[in-house]
Structure 1
Amino acid sequence: MLNIPKFGRFVIYSLFLCTLLTSCSSVASRPADVPYDNEVSKFHEPETTGSIKSRDVRESSGLTASRCQENVLWTHNDSDDGPFIFALDPQGRNLGTWKVTGSENTDWEDIAAFKDTDGKCHLLIADTGNNYRKRSTLKIYRVEEPAVTEQTAETRRRNALATAPAESFSFSYEDGGQDAETLLVHPTTGQIYVVSKNITSAAGVYKLPPFQAKADQVARKVGHISVPAVPNGLLTGGEISPDGRRVAVCDYFGAYELTLPETAADFDEIWDARAIRFDIGRRAQGEAITYTADGNTLYATSEKRESPIFRVSRVTEE
Structure 2
Amino acid sequence: MLSKPGGVLVRVFAVAGMTAVTVLAGQGARADDGERILFRFKDGRITESSGLAVSPTRKDVYYTHNDSSAGPVFFAVGPDGRTRATFTLRGAASRDWEGMAASTDPRTGQGVLWFADIGDNLEGAWPDISVYRVVEPATMSDAVVPAVRYRFRYEDGGRNAEGIMVHPRTGRLYVVTKQFAGSVYQAPKRLRTDRVNVLRKVGSAPIMATDAAYAPDGSSFVIRTYFSATVYRAPGEQIARVTMPELQQAESIAYTRDGKYLLTGSEGSRSPVYRVPLPQEALGTAAPEPTYARRQAAPTPTPGAAGDPAPTPVAAARDGEAASDAGVPVSAVLLWLAIAAGAIGVITLIARNTR
If the length of structure 1 is used for normalisation, what is the TM-score? Answer: 0.77
- The yes-or-no answer on 1:276 pairing with 2:240 is yes
Shift of 1:102: 1.8
Partner of residue 69 from structure 2, selected from 80, 101, 104:
80
Report what 1:130 is aligned to: 120
CA spacing shift, 1:170–1:313, aligned 2, 3 Å: same
Once the two structures are TM-superposed, the CA of residue 77 in structure 1 deviates from its matched residue by 0.6
Q: 1:224-245: per-residue Cα shift (whole Å, max 9, x none)?
A: 123xxxxxx1001110101111
Instruction: Provide the residue aligned with 2:101 in structure 1.
Output: 112
The question of 1:234 aligning with 2:208 is answered yes
| 3-state SS of 1:71 partner | coil
Give distance in 2, aligned partners of 1:192 and 1:142: 11
| Alpha-carbon distance between aligned partners in 1 of 2:12 and 2:131, rounded to the nearest angstrom | 24
Distance 1:31 1:246 in 2: 26
Number of the residue aligned with 2:60:
71
Match of 2:329 in 1: none
Is 1:246 the counterpart of 2:212? The answer is no
Aligned pairs for 1:18-29 within 5 A: 28=23
- Tell me: CA distance 1:9–1:177, structure 2 relative to 1, closer, same or farther (3 Å): farther
CA separation in 1, counterparts of 2:269 and 2:147?
27
Aligned to 1:229: none
Distance 1:100 1:16, change over 3 A: closer
CA distance in 2, matches of 1:53, 1:277: 31
What are the residue-to-residue correspondences of 1:35-74 with 2, within 5 Å?
44-74=33-63
Partner of 2:324: none
Does residue 308 of structure 1 match 2:272?
A: yes
Alignment of 1:113-262 (within 5 A): 113-117=102-106, 118-132=108-122, 133-149=124-140, 152=141, 160-163=142-145, 165-198=146-179, 200-201=180-181, 203-210=182-189, 211-226=191-206, 233-258=207-232, 260=233
Q: Which amino acid aligns with 1:245?
A: S
Could you tell me how far 1:10 is from its partner in structure 2? 7.6
- Report the residue type matching 1:223 in the other structure: G
Amino acid at match of 1:127: D
**Aligned residue identity for 2:27:** A
Q: With CA pairs under 8 Å and 6+ residues apart, which has the higher RCO, 1 or 2?
A: 1
Residue 223 (structure 1) shift: 0.6
The amino acid across from 1:89 in the alignment is G
How many aligned positions are there?
268
Displacement after TM superposition at 1:281 (Å): 1.5
Shift of 1:76: 0.4
**Structure 1: gaps of 5 or more residues:** 1-7, 19-25, 37-42, 153-159, 227-232, 261-269
Q: Normalized against structure 2, the TM-score is what?
A: 0.70
Q: Which amino acid aligns with 1:137?
A: D
* Match of residue 23 from structure 1: none
* One-letter amino acid of the counterpart of residue 94, structure 1: T
**How far apart, CA to CA, are the structure 2 residues paired with 1:236 and 1:243?**
22
Aligned-pair identity in percent equals 34
SS at match of 2:23: coil
Q: What's the secondary structure of 2:226's corresponding residue?
A: coil
Q: Do the aligned partners of residues 223 and 35 (structure 1) sit closer, same or farther apart at CA in structure 2, a change above 3 Å counting?
A: farther
Question: Aligned pair in 2 of structure 1 residues 33, 136: CA closer, same or farther (>3 Å)?
Answer: farther
Where is the strand percentage greater, Structure 1 or Structure 2? 2
Instruction: Provide the C-alpha distance between the structure 2 equivalents of 1:102 and 1:86, rounded to a whole number of angstroms.
Output: 17
SS across alignment from 2:49: coil
1:281-316 deviation digits (Å, cap 9, x = unpaired): 111101001012221122111011110110113366
Per-residue displacement from partner, 1:260-293 (whole Å, max 9, x unpaired)?
2xxxxxxxxx112126321231111010010122
- Contact preservation (8 Å) 1:190, 1:209: no
Tell me the residue number matched to 1:103. 92
User: Does the 8 Å CA contact 2:119/2:161 hold for their aligned counterparts?
Assistant: yes
AA in 2 matched with 1:72: V
Provide closer, same or farther for how the CA distance between residues 215 and 271 of structure 1 changes in structure 2, counting only shifts above 3 A. Answer: same
- CA distance in structure 2 between the aligned counterparts of 1:10 and 1:162, rounded to whole angstroms: 40
SS of equivalent residue, structure 2 residue 90: coil
User: Measured at CA, do residues 197 and 272 of structure 1 come closer, stay the same or move farther in structure 2, by a change above 3 Å?
Assistant: same
Q: Give the alignment's Cα RMSD to 1 decimal.
A: 2.6
Residues 30, 243 of structure 2: 8 Å contact kept: no
